[in-house]
Structure 1
Amino acid sequence: MPDDLYQRYQAAHRTHKTHAEGCATCTDRARCPEGARLWESFERLQDAYLQRERPR
């Protein structure tokens, strides 16, 4: 069974990428309010996943 946290962080990345591809405001360095919210969600999930995967 796939890791739920990994799946959620990958889904957040896909959601942000899809948004950014269709948004005239979002760039690599600047994001619209919706893009910023999606990026922050991705970052939080990715950080949680990577923190859990680090050797103790």
Structure 2
Amino acid sequence: MTARQSPLYTRYMAAFNEWTTHVTGCSCRAEAPCEVGAPLFERFSRLQEAWNNHLTQHRR
């Protein structure tokens, strides 16, 4: 399964896009997200960790 076919990868990239779109129009950042940005960053972080774990497991 390639990255483009993976539902996890798709969700990870969607979360990344939501977070970066938000940050572009807001003064918050990862270290101090605003009330709206906090859940976006949390989701992005969780999915990024899941994707990295997926890659690590499939390299063995």
TM-score relative to the length of structure 1? 0.82
Which residue of the partner structure matches residue 19 of structure 2? 16
The answer for unaligned runs of 5 or more in structure 1 is none
TM-score (norm 2): 0.78
Query: Does the 8 Å contact 2:30/2:41 carry over to 1?
Result: no
Higher relative contact order at CA 8 Å, sep ≥6: structure 1 or structure 2? 1
C-alpha displacement of 1:47: 0.7
Moved over 6 A (4+): none
User: C-alpha root-mean-square deviation of aligned residues, in Å?
Assistant: 1.5
Alignment match, 1:40: 42
